[in-house]
Amino acid sequence: MSKGNIQLTLPDGSVREFPAGATPLEVARSVGERLAAAGVAGQLDGEIVDLRAPIGRSGKFRVLTPRDSEAGVVIRHSAEHVLADAVERVFPGTIIDAGRQDHSEKFQYDFRVDHAFTPEDLERIEQEMARIVKEGKPFERQVVSRKEAAEIFRKRKEEIKLIRLEDIPEGEDITLFRHGDFVDLCRGPHVQRTDQIGAFKLLETSGAYFKGDERNEMLQRIYGTAFATKEELDSYFAKIEEARRRDHRRLGKELDLFSFSPLAPASPFFHPRGTIVYNELVALMRELYQEFGYEEVITPQLFDVDLWKRSGHYDHYRENMFFSDVEGREFSMKPMNCPGHCLIYSTHAHSYRELPVRFADFGRLHRYERSGVVQGLTRVRTFSIDDAHIFCTPAQIGQEVSSLFELMFRVYGIFGFQQPAIYLSTRPEKAIGEEALWRNAEAQLERCLKERGVEYTLNPGEGAFYGPKIDFVVLDAIGREWQLGTIQLDFNLPDRFDLTYVGDDGTEQRPVIIHRAVLGSVERFFGVMLEHFAGDLPLWLTPEQARVLPVSDRFMDAGRAVRDRLVQAGLRAELDERSEKLGAKIRDGELAKIPVLLVVGAREAESGGASVRVRHRGDLGTKDLDEVIATMTTTVHKRVLNPWPEVQ
């Protein structure tokens, strides 16, 4: 390789040499004019680069065209600029801030305008964008000095850009991208021409704090999405529609599981059916607690604030707590169970021989959440957690965390969640306890993760105020992420409550507390699980496991006998006593997502069986009642996902 040249390995495996500073566009041209014309960006060792940005080093290189899925990022990023351009044209005098593309398939741009964007405005802006796209204006990349950039934005009266310019660290290249008369401070990469933005749509407007800080002014944000093709755009909306179909708030109402009242904002009411589901979730955890050595406790709802002062919640969590004054004494609803468990622990002396002590608690918690943040079951003001606190010796942390991993994977497997992603969160700014304690706790968790050989991602500064944590994030049936389980190490609370145990040398030692939850909030899990299953709950969890449908009133007694036998076998079965035709009963049973419908008519009344119709499977024919009961009870007890497995 001659001096000053770079070597690029192309997708076909060939290696070509180019002068350093050659642009991806030039590389593309050397492959073929058609590739060069179709290209939207380059990719060097996985990193997406602008077609006009000089390549500074050797590596694996390819040209991205609209057919590559990675092209979407570039297209959306370019659509941002077109959006800003269109807004400036439709609303002259608008001060633009900056665009961004979040990790989803949306892009956004923030504006300072004196009037609020309406849906009609969005339509006008969209039309203007369509015009700009159609014009096929080339994007131009330009590297400028700080002074030049400042000059340009000053002239354009883009005051926010000047602030953004100052935020660019000294020594970094300042690049501008232009298309037509529009110019923006931007790193890129961008498509070559605006008409490479194949399909786009503006979605919604919202307020957004400047630089994401609520002390700053609020700008107006417009969200949109863009893809290379109309088909991709359509499938984006299909995905949104699917999520809407699964929305737990809609399902909760349709299946009569829970509701909300304005008289108790953000506080769910679980109806009889929802309560069955809720209790099954709790029962699952109770069953596993037996196996994993937990002891359940029940603790008070309301505590003197002295408790919270002692635990540190009063100083660090007060803005999330509900208070009440009684007899001139200040009380607070508990937002967490841990201090109560510390009080139980300290009711008697402990020996190292009895540790670990594991207190489980499904106690109801109340946390004040700002009115704008609450949402369905996933963000509420009262909930319970499958909460437990493990009091152990420092030496036991490893084995406890290890056993927790086993518990977590067991539970998530029961629901068919994918292998969870794991995050390690470290000391936040607002934390209690000495730096050294924190470092020790973080190191211990890290060691546990390494010893297990699990992959994890570091989340610096995201820990709880009392200790670092490991979070478990699962993917649901349509690929969305949900944070469920958590393991939090706490060296602070034992200190604050002066908890001790007697070590094998007879001296007083300080235990460690591990806060942990598997489902997390039962309410949130309920919502997540409901969406994951799209309302089709597994047999063990569903409120009505079977519904008996007499073909006509004449077979009501036969139907009742079938229902009674199922109920005696411990199944949740009901009888459709309405004087409806079979078709209507089946339709209503299906709409209620009942897994097993049992039809009873002349034939069945004769033989004593029932005709079995399984959801998503259809009519399985007449079966003996003993077989129906055996299949169903086994499926329930084993918590099998499939409501009617052929082979048990």
Task: Using CB under 7 A, list all residues that contact RNA.
Answer: 102, 116, 118, 204-209, 212-214, 218, 220-221, 223, 249, 253, 260, 262, 265-266, 367, 369-376, 379-381, 383, 385, 464, 483-484, 486, 517, 520-521, 523-524, 551-554, 579-584, 586-587, 590-591, 597, 599, 601-604, 611, 613, 618-619, 622
Minimum distance of RNA from residue 109's CB (angstroms): 12
Cβ closest to RNA, residue 511 vs residue 595? 595
- Cβ atoms 503, 352 nearer than 8 A: yes
Cβ closest to RNA, residue 61 vs residue 417? 417
Alpha-carbon span 600 to 547, nearest angstrom: 11
Rounded to the nearest angstrom, the gap between the alpha carbon of residue 424 and the centroid of all alpha carbons in its chain is: 16
Cβ closest to RNA, residue 204 vs residue 508? 204
Annotate 470-537 with DSSP letters as a single string: EEEEEE-TTS-EEEEEEEEEESSHHHHTT--EE-TTS-EE--EEEEEEEEEEHHHHHHHHHHHTTT--
The residue type of 172 is: E
Cβ closest to RNA, residue 47 vs residue 606? 606
Q: What are phi and psi of 307, to 5 degrees?
A: -60, -45
Joined tokens for residue 243: 């999520």
Minimum distance of RNA from residue 320's CB (angstroms): 8
Cβ closest to RNA, residue 195 vs residue 588? 588
Minimum distance of RNA from residue 202's CB (angstroms): 12
Cβ closest to RNA, residue 157 vs residue 581? 581
Cβ closest to RNA, residue 265 vs residue 503? 265
Alpha-carbon span 532 to 543, nearest angstrom: 17
- Could you count the other beta carbons within 10 Å of the beta carbon of residue 332? 21
Minimum distance of RNA from residue 586's CB (angstroms): 4
Minimum distance of RNA from residue 159's CB (angstroms): 20
User: Which residues neighbour 197 within 8 Å (Cβ) at sequence distance 6 or greater?
Assistant: 75, 78, 79, 82, 133, 191, 226
Coil vs helix vs strand at 313: helix
Cβ closest to RNA, residue 129 vs residue 528? 528
Cβ closest to RNA, residue 15 vs residue 238? 238
Minimum distance of RNA from residue 136's CB (angstroms): 31
- Could you count the other beta carbons within 10 Å of the beta carbon of residue 356? 19
Minimum distance of RNA from residue 247's CB (angstroms): 7
Cβ closest to RNA, residue 339 vs residue 520? 520
User: Which residues neighbour 424 within 8 Å (Cβ) at sequence distance 6 or greater?
Assistant: 442, 445, 446, 449, 456, 457, 458, 459, 468, 469, 470
Minimum distance of RNA from residue 507's CB (angstroms): 35
Handedness of CA 68, 69, 72, 74 (dihedral sign): negative
Count helices and strands in the chain by DSSP H and E runs? 20, 33
Alpha-carbon span 407 to 413, nearest angstrom: 10
Minimum distance of RNA from residue 257's CB (angstroms): 13
Minimum distance of RNA from residue 484's CB (angstroms): 7
User: With left for phi above 0 and alpha for psi between -120 and 50, is residue 144 left, alpha or beta?
Assistant: beta
Q: Which residue has the tokens 């890290």?
A: 446
